[in-house]
Structure 1
Amino acid sequence: MSETASVTRQLLSAPLPQIIERLGIAIAQAQSALDRNSIETAKAMAEAEIELGGETHNLISLGFTPTFYSFTEATVEAKLSFSMTESTEFGVSAGATVGVQAGFVMVAASVNVSYARKFSVSAEGMSSIAARLVSLPPPENLENLLRKISEAAPAPNP
């Protein structure tokens, strides 16, 4: 029975707080990377120039804006299942034979005894991590600045 207690202890000591902490840090780092990417995209749009109707325009002046993303939720799911069984089997069988031949009598007896004790422990685990990512409009200050840049730029000729 001590093996069963050991397996139970191991299953119950799963590092759930560390998993949650690592997930939080990973999401914060991923969010930072997404923000940096959006900023770099805005810079690239401001620097990219295209010619329309004989005039040169950058993408920002044409109304393009970078896409921003945000994590709205994250889920850690862990499922553990384990089963323990113990069985005991005890068996007795006996037999006797008698034989008579030419004045001799033979008697034989046999006894079979068996005893078995079986232990079985099985454990299964499954985990999943899911994060939901959504697109957001640009921050209001950036949107106002982009609007000013767009209004200051000459209108494209049709």
Structure 2
Amino acid sequence: MAETPKVTRNLLSAPLPDIIQRLGVAIAQAQFALDQNSVALATEMAQTEVEIGGDKYNLLSLGFVPSFYTFTEATVEAKLSFSMTESTEMSINVGVQVGGGTPFVMAAASVEVGYARKFSVSAEGMSSIAARLVSLPPPEIFTDLLRRKFENDVI
């Protein structure tokens, strides 16, 4: 089974650190995109005005706030199964034939030898990546600034 250790090494050398690093970078990029989206939504809410009783108010001054999201956990799961078999077959067939007549006797012998060595390797892999995303309240400093701005505009 000279091939078995080589195949095992190849299967076990999966780039798990690379997968984890890529997952971390992907989550950081996704988190940044979510934050940018929330800021863009806040800007849009500040520019969107509603008229109430002849006065105009933007959505933020009325208490609307954009949603903020964050990743709370991420999981990488990898499953790998493999099987290896090696078989050796050897066969020997011997035949003897005798024939002839009275003054002559003829004999023949045949030997047939067969040798086969077979290797079989199969591997199956499955992986999954899951991330949990939750909604958060807006940052406290954001709501404090909105509150102060609104109080200053009203006075």
Range of TM-score over shorter length: 0.7 to 0.9
- The answer (yes or no) to whether the contact 1:63–1:150 under 8 Å persists in 2 is no
CA distance in 2, matches of 1:46, 1:98: 109
Aligned positions, number: 153
Q: What do residues 69-128 of structure 1 show as CA deviations (whole Å, max 9, x unaligned)?
A: 00000111111111110112233455677889xxxx998776554332211111122222
Q: Which residue of 2 aligns with 1:74?
A: 74
- The answer (yes or no) to whether the contact 1:31–1:71 under 8 Å persists in 2 is yes
- The answer (yes or no) to whether the contact 1:84–1:121 under 8 Å persists in 2 is yes
Report which structure shows greater RCO (CA 8 Å, sep ≥6): 1
Classify the secondary structure of the residue corresponding to 2:81. Answer: strand
Q: What do residues 42-63 of structure 1 show as CA deviations (whole Å, max 9, x unaligned)?
A: 1110111122343322111221
* Aligned-residue identity in percent: 69
CA distance in 2, matches of 1:111, 1:2: 30
Could you list the runs of 5+ residues in structure 2 that have no partner in the other structure?
A: none
- Give the structure-2-normalised TM-score: 0.79
Q: Which residue of 1 aligns with 2:14?
A: 14
CA distance in 2, matches of 1:44, 1:50: 13
Q: Which residue of 2 aligns with 1:40?
A: 40
Query: Deviation at 1:135?
Result: 0.5
Query: Deviation at 1:150?
Result: 4.6
Note the 1:42-57 alignment, pairs <5 A.
42-57=42-57
Which residue identity does 1:57 align to in structure 2? Answer: Y
Query: Deviation at 1:139?
Result: 0.9
Could you list the runs of 5+ residues in structure 1 that have no partner in the other structure?
A: none
